[in-house]
Amino acid sequence: MDSLTHIVLGACVGEVVAGKKLGKKALAWGALMNSLPDFDFVLSFFLNPTKDLLAHRGITHSLFFVAIATPLLAWIASRIHRHSPMRFKDFLWFFGLEIFLHIFLDTFNVYGTGWWEPFLTVRWSWDFLFVADPLFTIGLLVVALMLVFKSIHHPKRKKWALIAITVSVCYTAWGGVNKYLIDTRVQAQAKRNGIEVLRYFSTPTALNHQLFYCLLQARDGIYITYRSVWDGNRDTYFSYYHQNKELAAQIIDQEALRDLKIFSQDWYALKKDSIGIQFQDMRFGQILGWEYQPAEFIFYYYIDEPEANALVVQRGRVKGWNREVLKRYLYRIRGGWIQPRIL
């Protein structure tokens, strides 16, 4: 999830767990511990882009990291607050919960987390929250600000924090239900259309969990569709993409190609243009793909032309957006039908 979400969730959890013993310092410790795994961004200064993609949400988002970092940080905090009611075991529970909640929450979106690193490189992702979802975050943000400015003696501080956390948990569960309904309907339509689905993937589109972006791996390529939970049983359109995997033989940097294939979990296509060969990670979606076909993919990387990669991930996320596009997008989220236009 985005940094703001981790900060405000951490603060609210801090109030619930340690607010009575640490006062407003519990908010700061909670925000810091819930943000800690994302400190792996410093690795980007030392690694090349493809290695950095694998490092992010890797070891610092693992259960191994929780087990190693929590006792050390709890001991440091217990020394800093030696005169408070909080003891080492209290900080151990508090910090362990915060760090675990970070890696657990990140599992809900498409990038995935390396829970079992350094022992296994498999990334876990359940794919029913977008990386930044305002409806998940807004309640936590409002309550976190209230906790900062209200007196530490206010009798409802813990209640406010619990309500905000509960609302976000329920919103997440709603996303899981939406994903189940959409996956069931998309795969049923694929069967009716005679598409033999070898693998399937779906994830929410930007800033919501009602409109999903779905990939269906067939023997000859990948089919893409967009479906809203409000579409009901109405069929949606499928776009076909040939993955052009034969272009892989022309790529010089085969090590980078291997890294990207691992990162993309094999949901990728290759495309050759005037600059070179693009590696397109299809999981991150398309630029306005819900109303255009064939639309460009948001994530693309020129493997043999690193100087052409000013921004590696999601470089087209906001390309082409304006007020009218936003209106059509909200209409499509609500189940409104938009006939795909050919670019």
pLDDT attached to residue 315: 63
Give the integer Cα–Cα distance in Å for 94 and 18: 7
Residues 146, 147, 149, 155, CA torsion sign: positive
105 token code pair? 């929450």
pLDDT attached to residue 320: 81
Give the integer Cα–Cα distance in Å for 343 and 339: 13
pLDDT attached to residue 209: 96
pLDDT attached to residue 311: 54
195 token code pair? 């598409």
- Residue 297's CB is within 10 A of a number of other CB atoms, namely 25
**pLDDT beneath 50, residues of the chain:** none
Question: Do residues 175 and 203 lie in contact, with contact meaning Cβ atoms separated by under 8 Å?
Answer: no
Tell me the pLDDT tens digit for each residue of 41-74. Answer: 888 778 888 888 888 999 999 999 999 999 999 9
What are the phi and psi torsion angles at 276 (to 5°)?
Answer: 165, -155
The angle formed by the CA atoms of residues 333, 312 and 66, to the nearest 5 degrees, is 85
CA distances from 333 to 7, 213, 319, 320 (A): 28, 11, 19, 18
256 token code pair? 């980078």
Tell me the pLDDT tens digit for each residue of 87-135. Answer: 999 999 999 999 999 999 999 999 989 999 999 888 899 999 999 999 9
80 token code pair? 């800093």
pLDDT attached to residue 343: 67
Number of Cα atoms under 13 Å in the Cβ half of residue 152: 11
